[in-house]
Structure 1
Amino acid sequence: MGAKDVERQSPNVFRMRLMGAEVIPVHSGSATLKDACNEALRDWSTNYQKAHYLLGTAAGPHPFPTIVREFQKMIGEETKQQILKVEGRLPDAVIACVGGGSNAIGMFADFIDEKNVQLIGVEPAGKGIDTDQHGAPLKHGRTGIFFGMKSPLMQDKFGQVEESYSISAGLDFPSVGPQHAYLNSIGRAEYVSITDDEALDAFQILCKKEGIIPALESSHALAYAIKMANAEPNKEQIIVVNLSGRGDKDIFTVQEILDKKGVL
C-alpha cells in the first residue's frame, strides 16, 4: 500500500492490522496506488509459485479487469432489481466515481444493454481539470501501455507516466480500466470530472441532510448527481448514485481540510 495512502487511510489500515493482515508501505514514486500496484506485481512475478496477485480495481492485464467486473456486477444487478421494485421503472441515469473503475464497472455492467439508462462515470478533477493536479485520464490522457493494459494514461510528451492527484486516495490513479476506455470510445458511457472542493461540499451535504458519512471517492459521484439535478430542477428524473464506500476512513483528511478553511 502506498505510504501516502497508509497515512490518508489510517483507520482502514488499523482495522486490517487488527485482523492480522501485514500491511507493507511503499515509499517509491508518489507512494500512492500505482506504486503499490507496481511493487505487488514485482513481488508476484518473483514469488509466483507461493503467492497470488489480487487487485481491487478494474485495471491491469487480462483477466483481472474481467474478474473484478464479475465479482462487482452484483452491485448493478441488485440496484436494477430494487429500483424496479420501488419505482416500477429503470433509472434515467446511473452515476459512479471512477479511479481505476471497479465500483463503476460493477454498477454499469447490468445496465449497459439498457440504452435508455445514461451511464456517467466521474473522474477526479483535483485542484482543477486545467491544472497538473488531477486524475482524469479518460478526458485528459493519451492511450498508453500501463500495468499490462492498453488504456488512457496520464503521460508527458516523452511517454513517461505523470503523477495523478485527488483528495481521495481511491481515485488517485493515472490510468483507468480498459472496460471504461471501451465504453467511452463507443459513447455508451459519459465521463465527467468533479473537483476536490465540489466533492467536499457533497460530502458535507450528505452528512448533514441524511446522517450518512460517504467515502470521498463516492462524494465525487454524489457531487455530479447534485449538479445534474440542480441543472433541471423541474424535471422528474430518477438518478441512482453508487455510494461505493463509507467515509470513516476519510474523516481525519476531511477534518484537517475543513479546519484550515474554518468551516467547522
Structure 2
Amino acid sequence: MTPAITPDRLNRFARHIVLPEVGGAGQARIMGAHVVLVGVGGIGAPALQYLAGAGVGRLTLIDDDVIEPSNLQRQTIFALADVGHAKAEAAAQWVARFDPDLVVQAHRTRIGRDNAAALIAGADVVLDGSDNFATRLAVSDACVAGGVPLTSAALGRFQGQVANFAGHRPGEACYRCFVGDAFDADDCDTCAAQGVLGAMVGMVGTFGAMAALRVLLEGVASLGDPQWGQLHVIDGLKPGLRTMRIAHDPACTTCGTDRPAA
C-alpha cells in the first residue's frame, strides 16, 4: 500500500517532490519501498545515508563485521565510540536517530547461499556493497531466484563499478553473466592491502544509492530508468565515467536459457 505523505513528510521531502522526474507519486513509492543493503561498510555506509535521506520506508541491513578505527576514514556514519560494536546494529541505530519514521532491521550475519533467499525476501531492490565475489554471486543467484532486482556497487582503488541487474527478467543479464563462474571463492584483494580513498568510496556508494532509486521509481516517475545491464565505470584518478553493456549469457548457470538442467 502506498503511504500517504503527511505534512511533516511533505516538508522533509519537498525538494524531491518539486522535481518533475520524481514528484509526489515517486516520493510515495520511495517511502513505501523495502531496500536490502548487503554490507554497511565502505560502500554501504554512504549508500545508507542517501537511501535513508530519500525516505526509503524499510531498510534491512546485513553485515557480520565490527567497527574498527581504520573504518572511520570512510564509513562516516560511525564514530570513535562505535569501535568494537557490530556494524549492522550501529548502522541501524544511526538510521533511528536520523529518521525515526523509517523501519530498519539489522542482521549481524554473513549472507551466503544458505540464508540469502530468506534475508532478501520481500525486497524491492537489493544493493550489494560486499567485498568478495562469493558473497556477490550468492546474492545475485538469490535475487534471480526470488525475482528481486539487484544493484551492484564495487570499488578497486580508484575505479568504481555500479550496475543494475534484472536476471529474473527475460533477456536481461544477471551479475553472474558479467563475472562468470570462476569467482565462487572468498579470496579477493582487500582495501587493507591495496589502500582506499574515503571520498572515492563515498562517490561509489552514493552512485549506488542513485542506481537503486532508479529501480524503485521504475514505472512511477521519469527518473525510474534502471538501465538494466549497463555497467557504469567510474575513474577517480582522472575523473570520468564510461558505460558498457553487459549482455545476457544464454549459457549462464543462473539465468541462462541454455544452462544445463539441474
User: TM-score under structure 1 normalisation?
Assistant: 0.29
TM-score, normalised to structure 2, is: 0.29
Please identify which structure carries the higher strand content: 2
